[in-house]
Every structure is written in structure tokens, then in C-alpha cells.
């Protein structure tokens, strides 16, 4: 069993500060390789040999919900796993996947979609059949329970027209139209399971002249320009902003 080992936990602070990123990444890989060698040195080909590890292997694909700083900044090549391992069970990445290797090295992934970045990921469990001297036989068992995650994108009318399709799901809504006060509440009344509602109008290309013009605006003009860029047409927001400015004035 190999728990998660951070870079600071296996490479000294002085080395991290003195070496460039490629060098201390190589130090991390080498030291973790030696840890794995020590853990597996008593294993023989005539037994079932299992290794469970919380780590990242190069070539694996992130699921979308992981913290990037804790993924490929702490990675090792699959070549560190000796060939007499029957099965290597990995955790850390959310996507169910096999690692390219002569042996059976798998991430089982998260049992449920944990983030809207994982909407298209297949979730499930792995059934392992192991015997001495051979890589394990692995069968994927799809997960069929729980609430799925769905992203709806379009105008308000387009999104609301699909409300009946997502009654069994947690929903992220991206509205491609001009924003206004109360828009999110209108979506949630029609789709109670909407956990995130955002407005994403089409972006307008910006020139250097536009940037210089922005810098010359006073706060009210800048706020009006921001609302226009975001496609928000609601005079109440400008009035509320004006009240805030007056309260903040000395």
C-alpha cells in the first residue's frame, strides 16, 4: 500500500529551492521508484502480487474535477512498476482508465461524477480476477445509479424547453444571451435541480483603442461599459451602483 506522497514529503526543501523544476521532478520520480522497489522486493512470480497506490502516472488522463497542482506536478512513469505485479490499483484521478503497460494497471476513478468537467466520463467499478504469474483479468462494471450531471447551453427559451429532460439530474445552465436581474431565479423555478446558472454572451473582439478608451472612463461609465460587454440590460443595476458610489464617496 502506497499512500499519497507529496513532493515536499520526499524531496528536501533545500533541493526544491536549489534545483530547477525538471531536476526536482526527476528527484521525485527516482525516490518514489525506490520506494516502490522496496515495497515489492519480496514479491515472487508464483504468487498474486497487488499494489495499491494514491499517485499519478504519466499518460493518464484527468477527469476534470481534480486540482491541477496536485496531479501532473507529482507524476511518475509506468515503467517504475515491476513486471511481476499481478495488478496495480491506482487512485487520485477521477477517470476510469487503464494505463499503457504490459501489466494490469488501472485507475478505478470516482464512483460518481464529481464535477461538470466529468459529464462525459464513464463511471463504474472494476471486477478483478487474479492468479499467480499472469496479469489480472479486469472487467468494467458500469455504474447505473445516482444522479447524472448535465450541462444545458443556449438561450433561455432553448434551455427551458429541455427542462423535462433533466428532472433526474444536477444541472449546470449556461445562457447565451443578455443578462438581467432575476434571470437565474427564473431558470431555477423551471429547473429546481439547477445548481449553477451563468450568462455567457458572445465575446466581442477588443482593440488597443478600446483598452485606452476604457482607462479614461470614470467609475459609472466603466460599470456601464462592463454591463454592455456582459450583455446585461437592466437600469436597476446602474442605479444601485450609483448609490454605492455615493455611499463610498468621502
The more confidently predicted of residues 236 and 79 is 79
Given this model, what pLDDT does residue 149 score?
92
Mean pLDDT value of segment 42-55? 94
Mean pLDDT value of segment 160-182? 92
Given this model, what pLDDT does residue 191 score?
97
Going from N- to C-terminal start, the domains of the chain cover: 7-142, 148-248
Least trusted range by pLDDT, from 20-24, 161-165, 185-189: 20-24
pLDDT confidence band for 15 (50 / 70 / 90): low
Least trusted range by pLDDT, from 161-165, 194-198, 214-218, 230-234: 230-234
- C-alpha–C-alpha distance, residues 185 and 75, integer Å: 43
- C-alpha–C-alpha distance, residues 194 and 119, integer Å: 15
Examine the pLDDT at 154 and tell me if it is beyond 70. Answer: yes
The more confidently predicted of residues 119 and 90 is 90
Q: Which CATH number describes the domain made up of 7-142?
A: 3.60.21.10
User: Taking the mean position of all CA atoms in its chain, how far away is CA 210?
Assistant: 34
Mean pLDDT value of segment 107-112? 91
pLDDT confidence band for 69 (50 / 70 / 90): very low
Given this model, what pLDDT does residue 11 score?
63
Given this model, what pLDDT does residue 206 score?
59
Amino acid at each position: 500500500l502506497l499512500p499519497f506522497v507529496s513532493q515536499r514529503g520526499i524531496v528536501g526543501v533545500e533541493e526544491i529551492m536549489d534545483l530547477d523544476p525538471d531536476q526536482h521532478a526527476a528527484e521525485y520520480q527516482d525516490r518514489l521508484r525506490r520506494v516502490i522497489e522496496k515495497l515489492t522486493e519480496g514479491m515472487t512470480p508464483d504468487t498474486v502480487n497487488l499494489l495499491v497506490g494514491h499517485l499519478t502516472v504519466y499518460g493518464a488522463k484527468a477527469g476534470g474535477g481534480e486540482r491541477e497542482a496536485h496531479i501532473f506536478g507529482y507524476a511518475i512513469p509506468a515503467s517504475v512498476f515491476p513486471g511481476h505485479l499481478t495488478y496495480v490499483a491506482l487512485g487520485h484521478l477521477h477517470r476510469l482508465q487503464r494505463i499503457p503497460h504490459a501489466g494490469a494497471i488501472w485507475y478505478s476513478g470516482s464512483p460518481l461524477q464529481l464535477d461538470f468537467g466529468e459529464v462525459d466520463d464513464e463511471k463504474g467499478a472494476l471486477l478483478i480476477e487474479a492468479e499467480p504469474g499472469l496479469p489480472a483479468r479486469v472487467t468494467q462494471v458500469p455504474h447505473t445509479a445516482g444522479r447524472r450531471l448535465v450541462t444545458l447551453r443556449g438561450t433561455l427559451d432553448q434551455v427551458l424547453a429541455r427542462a423535462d429532460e433533466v428532472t433526474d439530474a444536477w444541472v449546470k445552465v449556461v445562457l447565451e444571451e443578455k443578462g438581467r436581474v432575476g434571470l437565474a431565479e427564473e431558470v431555477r423555478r423551471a429547473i429546481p435541480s439547477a445548481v449553477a446558472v451563468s450568462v455567457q454572451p458572445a465575446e466581442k473582439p477588443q482593440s488597443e483603442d478600446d483598452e485606452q478608451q476604457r482607462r479614461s472612463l470614470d467609475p459609472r461609465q466603466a460599470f456601464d461599459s462592463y454591463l454592455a460587454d456582459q450583455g446585461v440590460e437592466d437600469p436597476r443595476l446602474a442605479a444601485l451602483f450609483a448609490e454605492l458610489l455615493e455611499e463610498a464617496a468621502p
